[in-house]
Amino acid sequence: MPKIAINGKEIDVPVGTLVLDACKNVGIDIPHYCYHPALTPVATCRMCMVEIKGMPKLATSCTTTVGPAPKDQPDSLVMEIFTDSPQVADARAGVMEFLLMNHPLDCPICDQAGECKLQDYSYTYGSGDSRMHEAKRRYRYEDLGGKIVIDKNRCIHCTRCIRFTQEISGGSELTVAQRGANLEVTTYSGKSLDSNPYAANVVDICPVGALTSRDFRFKKRVWYLTAVPSICRESALAAPVWIDHEGNQIHRMRPRPIDDRKETHFISDRERYSYKHYNLQDRPSQIIKQQDGTISEIFTQAMQALTAVVAQGTIGCDAAQKVAECASSPSHLYGSGDLRLPIDLAHLQKETDGIINRKGLEQRGFRFGQLESLKAQIAQGHIKTVILVHDQSVSSEEETALLMQILKTATTSIVFEVLQSELGKLATLWLPMTSYVEENDFVININGEICRYQKVLKAPDGCNTLVHWMQCLRSSSLVSTAS
């Protein structure tokens, strides 16, 4: 590997490494706006400039790569890079001054405040002064459809959002119009971002507050939010996300990029807005039973008969393991959930399975697509009790109808749900459980990777994790609070 020196420190890097990445590898963060690891570099902002010995001018580190060493001198230094020279500092201050020429000082009302690269770099690399006496240009904010609002006053023309719609989501809805000082980012006339299922990613990749989310705009200052690393359970990819919460409420879900994995930089809008399903602090949390006796008595009596367990493929592996212990035989474990997803981002995400933990459940003996056989076994009297861990959102109407028939035919049915569904109303015993943001567990995604999630919100009193319910029920330590 060729040898380079960064501020005098020598390292070996593979041929073709971007200078910006090489600096990052040795802990030097090069300021940048237009560069994004998942997009084609265009070197328009000029913020990432570094000095390279032998080059007549400063070079953009987002487009300069390390070449091979000469064959006759394989151990020689291929490149000497300086990121802290007076010329570099001068260039950065100059670029900041240009970028701020038309940028308004509206940080107190800007959603990006607190996570804005313009604020951060201006503070670290700016001159603190402006020679701009002319009036700044003015635009009124515009809706780019129902999801995104653009404030062109703040745009620094890095074109990240445009490249995203061209290279990643593919709809090319955004473009630049006009020239020179009148340059503006806009949609092709008549186009909105509404039909783009990945549109809200432009808000994340905009390094300033020009593109804002209608869903989050003016709702919360980001410094009040706590970000918890988690996953999104909307597909079998278990996309890594940050869950931003405050006051036992989730306010935002956004991608949690993992180095070298371009697909983790983006999530679909369906995934992003799914957090709304989990702000359920006011939900009913009473156990409901339709049989006389205490809850422990009903459960113990039910367990004495031949028992099958049906678990929706959205529960975690620890929960699946625990509930599987209730089945009379390993062959009495059934998985449910038949949701398929359209391919939204064909060249980055190809999977269409809508069941996040199908693999994890299969590894624990749950068999999917076998509910008809369970129904037949109940009809023949081979199974009397059915325990169902149910999540309505991942079953088709046909599968829900089949589950209903199963519950109606079983002698005893015990259903665990986050919110009681029509199906849950059929249960002999219904128990409220936590949603995935209220517990710690893990799933195995479609690629066989272990993906952990952790507790973000406190569940209402009375709602317990499946693991906790199982421990209580099996040790008969439950006090009857049922209605």
> Which C-beta is closer to ligand FES: that of 210 or that of 383?
210
Give, as ranges, the residues between 434 and 453 that touch ligand FES (CB under 6 A). none
158 binds ligand SF4 (CB under 6 A): yes
Interface characters, 267-296, with ligand SF4 (x: CB under 6 A): ------------------------------
Q: Counting beta carbons within 10 angstroms of the beta carbon of residue 360, is it exposed (0 to 12), middle (13 to 18) or buried (19 or more)?
A: buried
62 binds ligand SF4 (CB under 6 A): no
Rounded CA-CA distance 173/177 in Å is 13
Single-letter amino acid code for the residue at 55:
M
185 binds ligand SF4 (CB under 6 A): yes
365 touches 330 (CB < 8 A)? yes
Rounded CA-CA distance 361/68 in Å is 49
Give, as ranges, the residues between 54 and 113 that touch ligand FES (CB under 6 A). 60, 62
How many Å from the N-terminal Cα to the C-terminal Cα in the chain? 71
211 binds ligand SF4 (CB under 6 A): yes
Rounded CA-CA distance 246/429 in Å is 34
211 binds, among ligand SF4, ligand FES, none (CB under 5 to 8 A by kind): ligand SF4
Nearest alpha carbon to residue 35 among 117, 153, 122: 117
The single residue listed with the structure tokens 């705009």 is: 217
46 binds ligand SF4 (CB under 6 A): no
185 binds, among ligand SF4, ligand FES, none (CB under 5 to 8 A by kind): ligand SF4
Question: Can you state the angle between helices 466-474 and 317-324, rounded to 10 degrees?
Answer: 20
Rounded CA-CA distance 135/419 in Å is 56
3-class SS of residue 372: helix
Q: How far is the CB of 72 from ligand FES (least distance, A)?
A: 33
> Which C-beta is closer to ligand FES: that of 60 or that of 264?
60
161 binds, among ligand FES, ligand SF4, none (CB under 5 to 8 A by kind): ligand SF4
Give, as ranges, the residues between 20 and 59 that touch ligand FES (CB under 6 A). 32-35, 43-48
Single-letter amino acid code for the residue at 129:
D
Nearest alpha carbon to residue 256 among 285, 282, 227, 283: 227
43 binds, among ligand FES, ligand SF4, none (CB under 5 to 8 A by kind): ligand FES
252 binds ligand FES (CB under 6 A): no
> Which C-beta is closer to ligand SF4: that of 208 or that of 446?
208
The structure tokens listed for 313 are: 């493929």
206 binds ligand SF4 (CB under 6 A): yes
Instruction: Find residue 150's DSSP bridge partners.
Output: 142, 211
* Contacting positions for ligand FES (CB under 6 A): 32-35, 43-48, 60, 62
The binding site for ligand SF4 (CB under 6 A) comprises 155-161, 185, 206, 208, 210-211
